[in-house]
Amino acid sequence: MKAMQAMKAMQAMQAMQAMDALVELSAVTKTFGSGAGAVRALDDVGLVLRAGSVHAIVGENGAGKSTLLKVAAGVVVADGGRVDVFGTPLVPATPREAIRRGVGMVHQHFMLVPTLTGLQNLALGFEPTKHGLLDFAPLAAQVAALQKELDLPVRIDVPVGTLSVGEQQRLEILRVLLRVAGGGRGRVVILDEPTAVLAPSEAAMVLELARRLAREGAAVALVTHRLDEVAKFADEVTTMRRGRVVAHHPPGDAAVRDAALLAQEALGDTGVSTMSPPQAADESSPVVFAMEEVDAEDEAAGRITGVTLRVHAGEIVGIAGVEGNGQRALELVAAGLLRPSRGRIELDGADVTRMLVRERRARGLAFIAGDRHRYGLAEELPAADVIRLGGLGEVSTGPGASLVDERALERAFTDAAAAFDIRPIDASLAAGAFSGGNQQKIVVARELRTRRGAVPRLVLAAHPTRGVDARVARMIRDALTSVAARGGGLLIISSDLAELRALSHRIVVLRGGTVVAELRADASDDQLGAAMMGGETGREAHA
Amino acid sequence: MSHRSRSPARLLVALLLVCLAFDLIVLGWGETPSAIARRLFSGTWGTPYGIGQVLFKATSIAIAAVAARIALRAGLFNIGVDGSIAVAAIAVGAVGAKLPPDVSPLVAWPLLAIVGFVAGGLWAMPAAVLRARFGAHEVISGIMLNKIASSFVGYLLVRGLAEEASVHTRALPRGALLTRLDHLGAMFHGLRGSAVNVALLVAAVVVLAWSFVARRSIFGRELAAVGASPSVAEASGLPIARHIILALGLSGAVAGLTALNDVMGYKGYAEEGLSAGVGFTGLAAALLAGESTIGLFAAALLFATLSQGGLSINARIPMDVVDVIVALLILLVSSGEGLSRALLGPPAPAAKGPTSPR
């Protein structure tokens, strides 16, 4: 009798386990490009996403994490291997089919129309109609219910362009949940670096949501570079390196909670960097960049009011704040992409208020844009052209220096690739074919280069290490500090407080588009938090 | 997705479908496709005269295609090529008619080439400046300028440019006419009667020169950056307004060189509607060829063949069938990615890499 019961229990458990595997990838391979430039993004990779589990995928840039999950979501078609969703192969391998089966992915780059409201964005592609006319009421009710159920605050009645990055991301998550909810067989939610662009409080909100979804029976896949998040929120971990799985830690494995061990697996070394605040800068050195009482406003970038700040030669000034408090407007005004309505901007002693990016660059501005796709790199150009975008004149030859010296250009790329470990080292490959982290390295290498032996006078860098792994982040931070050591000034906008603290001599806090505090780098978390949130705590601050 | 890549398989599929469509249309008209096709071929590549005519038409198409390609490089669709061609033709005709009767070709040819170049370029300026300074879409202003150009040319002819009791300018002096190829020596005698002239060489040089400038010069590479992403180009410090004006201006200017072929090589005077539509055919050839140089020559020859062949089948079937074929070909090629995937399966992995959503 007892044996029968035990057998039954075991069968039930096996059945459960089989059912638990909502998505199963096995022996998946994927190669991008062909010939010498071919990149093996995935090499015989397996992955199981189980109901009720938050599965973290970690690894350095270009390890294949995003590609693997895009295969699971039907966004990328694998060259070989098997993709099973709820026990049957994913055919056809398209995002539409994946969504129909309950697999949705929130991408690194949001796919929202900035001029439409949140609700209109949610409706895009499956607009609700009544008698042939648009009828948003039922959808609005459905969204409200879902928001309440999941505790997911987003304003859905204003243009998406006016939302903070955190809100935009929650909107994306809402959209995915709305679409995959249909099947009722449990759902699969894939989050590709959801926290890379978020302030700590917003990141926590997303991760808690991931946990909650898993508790309700969803399978959640999570790509992240923040191993402390993994240790805190994940149930199981898969580590990837160069297109292969190097380790899988099932639920309950102690390694899941061991950030140092995971870092070692992912990077091949103890990638946990020890960041320490720099020495104080010399305040008597000349001012290389100044904003005086600057007002500016832009529909998409937000607003700044009466902003005054200075950067001295050799000084690193950090800009902190909850995302959406004027950082983007500040970035664009400082770069020369947004014209201020009031105030004065000086670069290296000259009034540059009315000058365009081009003229400011000629005066020593380097610009690492926060929005890489819009301002940083053109995906269809070959990497070689991108590494000297706007500076092809530095590798000129022929009559009147009108031709491109192809060899010098290729050397410029291979030098940058060596300095920043850009992979693959293929100057002719389209920039868009590099992984996100490697694209960032290309941009950083270009902006921080010395021109005729001179370092930039001012480096304006927004989120310079966003989405890159710990090792590359350290590389980029070292490059940034070395500019300061050689007399350049730096203005760094970041949502990563640890990074700002490690890099900056001074931290300027923006709230509601104005400078509310100026703190020393060794200010406490409480001081910084209070300045950013305006004394309030919790999540009201995002709205 | 862009005009940049054309896989041979895709072109082959498009051509096969076009042939199929041709068969169906001809059958629908009650004719035999093979007979019509034979006629089309014998009227073009079948005789030396036919070949000469194809080459003559290909000359203007190739020049117009380069004009279109210059703008495409910067991500601009210069539909105003046709207007630039019309204005350049009348300018060359007007200036050419004023030259003394005994003018030397050494003076007349370069002078009139410059006139055509400048006139075509100037005509593109309004669209260029509107685009660069105010963001007005170059297709809209280009279409408008085309209309204005044809009215403007008619007006000028009526208002005194035209010879008494005619609708064309006075004839160009002998020294301003480009040598027909059949005058160049015994080996070209077979071309007799066809209008093919030394402008063919100009077209070849223009195609090759732009291919070089586009690929190797800093200007050409910067144009590609502007075309790939204007916002990235601006943030990188490229002078995008200047580059947009230069690209559209140079596009119009090169288009103006078609006057060498049509005015100086063929008619010997300018008239309303001479070379009308060549700009659009050139655009089509540029789109079909992508960035390939050989492809551009091939596309120019293909469209020239169809255009000349249309004349020779006109007795049996309306030559409009050729326009239908050309339109189909453009549609098939520009929608080619989805189509060839449906027919041939997924494409070979391109250098484009992971399809990151935008």
Q: What is the pLDDT of residue A6?
A: 64
User: Is A433 in Cβ contact with B354 (below 8 Å)?
Assistant: yes
- E strands, A450-488, are 458-462
Q: What is the pLDDT of residue B355?
A: 36
- Angstrom distance (rounded) from CA A127 to CA A122: 9
**CA–CA min distance B232, chain A (Å):** 4
Of B120, B124, B111, which is closest to residue B87 (Cα–Cα)? B120
Q: Which residues of B135-150 are buried (b: 16+ CB within 10 A; e: fewer)?
A: eeebeebbbbbbebbb
Question: Are A400 and A420 in contact, with CB atoms under 8 Å apart?
Answer: no
Helix axes B48-73 and B218-228, enclosed angle (nearest 10)? 70
Residue B286 is inside which H or E element, if any? helix B278-289
pLDDT digits (tens, 9 = 90+) for A486-511: 899 999 998 778 888 889 999 999 98
Q: Is-same-fold flag (A14-32+41-114+182-267; A287-542)?
A: yes
Measured CA distances, B347 to B228, B336, B342 (Å): 22, 11, 10
- Angstrom distance (rounded) from CA B116 to CA B30: 45
- Angstrom distance (rounded) from CA B55 to CA B52: 5
B160: which DSSP letter? I
Q: What is the pLDDT of residue A71?
A: 94
pLDDT digits (tens, 9 = 90+) for A370-406: 999 999 999 999 999 999 999 999 999 989 899 999 9
Three-class secondary structure of residue A404 per DSSP: strand
Residue A507 is inside which H or E element, if any? strand A506-511
Question: Are A484 and A316 in contact, with CB atoms under 8 Å apart?
Answer: yes
Half-sphere exposure of B129 (CA within 13 A, CB side): 6
Rg of chain B over Cα atoms, rounded to whole angstroms, equals 21
- Angstrom distance (rounded) from CA B19 to CA A54: 56
pTM: 0.75
Structure tokens at B23: 């068969």
Residues of chain A in contact with residue B75, where contact means CB-CB under 8 angstroms, are none
Question: Are A207 and A195 in contact, with CB atoms under 8 Å apart?
Answer: yes
Helix axes A436-447 and A470-485, enclosed angle (nearest 10)? 10
Of A391, A396, A430, the CB nearest to B351: A430
* CATH no. for A14-32+41-114+182-267: 3.40.50.300
Of A374, A46, A106, A353, which is closest to residue B230 (Cα–Cα)? A374
CB of B335 within 8 Å of a chain A CB? The answer is no
C-alpha of B303 from chain center: 10
Question: Within chain B, how many helices (H) and strands (E) appear?
Answer: 15, 0
Residue A505 one-letter amino acid: H
CA dihedral defined by B233, B236, B240, B243, rounded to 10 degrees?
-90
- SS3 percent helix, strand, coil of chain A, rounded to 5, is 40, 25, 35
Residue with tokens 């706007």: A390
Contacts of B59 (CB under 8 A, 6+ apart): B196, B197, B199, B200, B202, B203, B258, B261, B265
List the Cα angle B291/B297/B300 in 5-degree steps.
Answer: 105
Residues of chain B in contact with residue A436, where contact means CB-CB under 8 angstroms, are 356
The CATH number for B60-308, chosen from 3.30.9, 3.30.70, 2.60.40, 1.10.3470, is: 1.10.3470
Residue B350 is inside which H or E element, if any? none
Half-sphere exposure of B111 (CA within 13 A, CB side): 16
Q: What is the pLDDT of residue B354?
A: 37
Question: Are A437 and A60 in contact, with CB atoms under 8 Å apart?
Answer: yes
Classify domain A287-542 at the CATH topology level.
Rossmann fold (3.40.50)
Of A357, A401, A432, the CB nearest to B352: A432
Contacts of B309 (CB under 8 A, 6+ apart): B39, B40, B41, B43, B44, B322
**CA–CA min distance B341, chain A (Å):** 13
The residue in chain A having the minimum alpha-carbon distance to the alpha carbon of residue B222 is A390
Contacts of B323 (CB under 8 A, 6+ apart): B310
Of A439, A513, A543, which is closest to residue A109 (Cα–Cα)? A439
Residues of chain A with pLDDT under 70: 1-19, 34-37, 181-186, 267-283, 534-543
> Using CB atoms and an 8 Å cut-off, which of residues 188-247 of chain B contact chain A?
216-219, 221-222, 224-225, 228-229, 231-239
CB of B118 within 8 Å of a chain A CB? The answer is no
Question: Are A288 and A282 in contact, with CB atoms under 8 Å apart?
Answer: no
Structure tokens at A527: 């001081």
Q: How many other CB atoms sit within 10 Å of the CB of residue A458?
A: 23
Of B217, B224, B357, the CB nearest to A107: B357
Question: Are A351 and A344 in contact, with CB atoms under 8 Å apart?
Answer: yes
Q: Where are the domains of chain A?
A: 14-32+41-114+182-267, 287-542
- Angstrom distance (rounded) from CA A315 to CA B169: 71
User: Is A378 in Cβ contact with B232 (below 8 Å)?
Assistant: yes
Here the ipTM equals 0.83
Q: Which of A392, A407, A458 to mutate to test the interface with B (most CBs of B within 10 A)?
A: A392
Structure tokens at A452: 């005729």
**φ, ψ (nearest 5 deg) of residue B356:** -75, 130
User: Is A375 in Cβ contact with B358 (below 8 Å)?
Assistant: no
Structure tokens at A445: 């290498």
How would you write the pLDDT of chain B (358 residues) with one tens digit per residue? 344 445 677 778 888 888 899 899 999 988 899 999 999 999 899 999 999 999 999 999 999 999 999 999 999 999 999 999 999 999 999 999 999 999 999 999 999 999 999 999 999 999 999 999 999 999 999 999 999 999 999 999 988 888 877 888 889 999 999 998 888 877 777 777 889 999 999 999 999 999 999 999 999 999 999 999 999 999 999 999 999 999 999 999 999 999 999 999 999 999 888 888 899 999 989 988 888 999 999 999 999 999 999 888 888 888 888 888 888 887 887 776 556 556 655 444 333 333 333 3
User: Is A433 in Cβ contact with B351 (below 8 Å)?
Assistant: yes
Structure tokens at A332: 């664009």
